[in-house]
Structure 1
Amino acid sequence: MSDKATSKYRAPALEKGLDVLELLATAKSPMTLSQISARLDRSVSELFRMVQVLEIRGYVGMSASGEGFELTNKLFSLGISRGPSQNLLASALPLMQTLSDQTRQACHLAIASDDRMVVIARIEAPGDVGFSVRVGYQRPLAHSTSGLLIYAFQKPKIREQWRALLKPGLSPDEWATFEAQAEKALAQGHFSAPSSYIDGITDISCPVINDVGVVAALTMPWIHIEDGITLDDALVRLKATAKTLSKTLGG
């Protein structure tokens, strides 16, 4: 397509809005309007109304600390409300609820998005004690149980592509450990490890597989509860639930 044809279909206002959304999506902390304008090399006055509209429509919001703007979960919610993600959720949620009721533990479902894992569904523990993560929560694939599990069960060609994406962010020793853990997870059909985020929690994760390959990780942040289910028994039930969900999806 020629430059003339390309410019014919440009929408400057839309491009500004997309630039703001993409910037905030990659930001590690909230950003003020001045910081946004500096990063995008645009004037504050040029972006003021754009950010205001995005805030009114619910795509961005002021952080709880009041230090700047951040993305809301609206784009994420729109994304999982259609197509394969919606089918996955419709099949998973009843099974996850049963699992949580049986084990008195929370559980969540995570998928891969670029080099991160994203939680798309959760069920809170039915009792007074439990730990759960919010829908939309993200962590780097290489630094999460769910991410490692999803990587481990990818087909070789896909793993090779992911390797090129993930390996540069880790030291040689960290990558060797990650690969060894992935191979272990693949061999035993699950992955279990103490949480690297909160002491006292053991994350156990199993793959959810459809007719194409692994699509998600079903993960339980297991906590010891007096007279509660043991870690081994929780793993048995988690595996059974992931297997049932996989069969439902054609895996």
Structure 2
Amino acid sequence: MTMQDESDRKYRAPALEKGLDVLELLSSHGRPMTPSQMSVELGRSVSELFRMIQVLEFRHYIEATPDGYRPTNRLFSLGMTQAPVKSLTEGALPIMRDLARDTVQSCHLVVPTEDQIVVIARIESPGDLGYSVRLGYRRSIIDASSGLLFYGCASDRTQVALKARLEPLYDADRLARYYADAEAAAAQGFVRRASDFVMGVTDLVAPIMGADSVIATLITPYIQHAGAACDIDASLEYLRAAVRAISAEMSGMSQA
């Protein structure tokens, strides 16, 4: 929150703000945190945070693990009930089912959120072997294959906003590589690269376009196996046809 935002505020709710601070911290941290770690990061005492943590756990916004507390998918589920996201998933899921059937691979629908990507829908491989991640999975936009298209295919205004978020977090050389790779991905119209997260998986990613910018990506984490219905080149073509169909579907929804 900026100083201008602080000066414009009419009301304060300290307890609510402490709870939101905990949620935002856990969501951005990427791994479980203990109350002591939260205390250090937020500059508040453990006793000050104790009630917030207990209430958030009782309401199922966070959960305890052996390593500390982590967010649940409750906020994600609430967000999914909003009309724009619901329209995207409703339009995409039938096409994603066809894609999974045709390729015998899983697929994921991904959207950007600030400086991260988040998986909002998935279809499992209909075969015996496949790779998928949980709904609500997040990763830094600069490290994700989808992140290349979320910058490269974005409008000028969105690129400026994303740069402002990334520049305080990464050094100039890392950002320069990201921007160059993103421009190359946009020019190509897709991403095809070995996963740096799971051995033996090749990320196939294509953008779902809105009126003037990318609104989501569709990913096929391709695994070569005996039951594969088609090779990686054919799977990429199925994927690109799927994003064209979803883009057209979303265009029809926005005009309805």
Q: TM-score, normalised by structure 1?
A: 0.89
The letter of the residue matching 2:47 is S
State the partner residue of 1:242. 243
Which SS does the other structure have where 2:198 is aligned? coil
When residues 11 and 178 of structure 1 are mapped into structure 2, their CA distance, relative to the original with a 3 A threshold, is closer
Q: Distance in 2 between matches of 1:205 and 1:5?
A: 42
What 5-or-longer segments of structure 1 have no aligned partner? none
User: What displacement does 1:216 show?
Assistant: 0.3
When residues 188 and 41 of structure 1 are mapped into structure 2, their CA distance, relative to the original with a 3 A threshold, is closer
Q: Retained in 1: the 8 A contact 2:208–2:244?
A: yes
User: What displacement does 1:77 show?
Assistant: 1.5
When residues 195 and 67 of structure 1 are mapped into structure 2, their CA distance, relative to the original with a 3 A threshold, is same
Q: Retained in 2: the 8 A contact 1:211–1:249?
A: no
What 5-or-longer segments of structure 2 have no aligned partner? none
When residues 10 and 140 of structure 1 are mapped into structure 2, their CA distance, relative to the original with a 3 A threshold, is same
State the partner residue of 2:87. 87
Question: For 1:174-189, what aligned pairs fall within 5 Å after superposition?
Answer: 174-189=174-189
Which SS does the other structure have where 2:120 is aligned? strand
State the partner residue of 1:165. 165
Q: TM-score, normalised by structure 2?
A: 0.88
Which SS does the other structure have where 1:250 is aligned? helix
State the partner residue of 1:24. 26
User: What displacement does 1:49 show?
Assistant: 2.3
User: What displacement does 1:72 show?
Assistant: 1.0
Which SS does the other structure have where 1:142 is aligned? coil
The letter of the residue matching 1:185 is A
The question of 1:13 aligning with 2:15 is answered yes
The question of 1:61 aligning with 2:63 is answered yes
Which SS does the other structure have where 1:165 is aligned? helix
Question: For 1:64-143, what aligned pairs fall within 5 Å after superposition?
Answer: 66-143=66-143
User: What displacement does 1:214 show?
Assistant: 1.1
User: What displacement does 1:206 show?
Assistant: 0.7
Q: Distance in 1 between matches of 2:105 and 2:7?
A: 59
Q: Which moved more, 1:210-219 or 1:179-188?
A: 179-188
Q: Which moved more, 1:28-37 or 1:170-179?
A: 170-179
Cα deviations across residues 38-62 of structure 1 (Å, max 9, x unaligned)? 4333333333222111101100111
Cα deviations across residues 116-144 of structure 1 (Å, max 9, x unaligned)? 11111111111111111111111111111
Q: Retained in 1: the 8 A contact 2:149–2:214?
A: no
The letter of the residue matching 1:16 is K
Identical residues among aligned pairs (%) = 44
Q: How many residues align?
A: 247
The letter of the residue matching 2:195 is S
Q: Distance in 1 between matches of 2:99 and 2:61?
A: 33
Cα deviations across residues 14-42 of structure 1 (Å, max 9, x unaligned)? 12211221222222432222332343333
Q: Distance in 1 between matches of 2:114 and 2:60?
A: 24
User: What displacement does 1:173 show?
Assistant: 4.6
User: What displacement does 1:164 show?
Assistant: 3.6
When residues 6 and 148 of structure 1 are mapped into structure 2, their CA distance, relative to the original with a 3 A threshold, is closer
Q: Retained in 1: the 8 A contact 2:104–2:227?
A: no
